Amino acid sequence: MKKLILFVLIGAGVWNMYPRQEVQVLTNADLELVGTPYLTVINSSAAAKSPATLGYQKAASAKYSCDGRQYCSQMNSCSEAKFFLQNCPNPKMDGDSDGVPCERQWCK
């Protein structure tokens, strides 16, 4: 009986000394602080562009939206890749930084 009590006491001591990891629980209030993860970048040089170029951007922006895609393999056309390169944050489609995205796949 003494051994059983001793094992129970040792087990309880080890159980209490075992480090616990706190898990952070996100609430709706936390999600409101985070906001939308992908924002459309407003081009500050849009005023210097010609009206024809602005019309193209309006038509393209109505057709495409920044949804987090970054790579050429995620694009469906050259115009879509150009839209993402010019308007979306952190695109990884222009390896040689010449302004032409997806040269091997879409914009040859």
What is the tally of structural domains in the chain?
1
Could you tell me if residue 11 is inside a domain? no
Does position 11 have pLDDT exceeding 70, yes or no? yes
Could you tell me if residue 87 is inside a domain? yes
Could you tell me if residue 12 is inside a domain? no
Could you tell me if residue 72 is inside a domain? yes
Could you tell me if residue 7 is inside a domain? no
Could you tell me if residue 17 is inside a domain? no
Exposure letters 6-17 (e unless 16+ CB within 10 A, then b)? eeeeeeeeeeee
Express each pLDDT in 34-84 by its tens digit.
665 555 555 555 444 544 444 444 555 568 888 888 899 998 999 899 998
Lowest-confidence region among 2-6, 27-31, 47-51, 92-96? 47-51
Could you tell me if residue 100 is inside a domain? yes
Structural domain including 56 reads 51-108
Per-residue model confidence (pLDDT) at position 53: 47
Could you tell me if residue 75 is inside a domain? yes
Whether this prediction's pTM lies above 0.85 is answered by no
Other CB atoms within 10 Å distance of the CB of residue 27: 8
Per-residue model confidence (pLDDT) at position 3: 92
Question: Which tokens is 60 given?
Answer: 């393209």
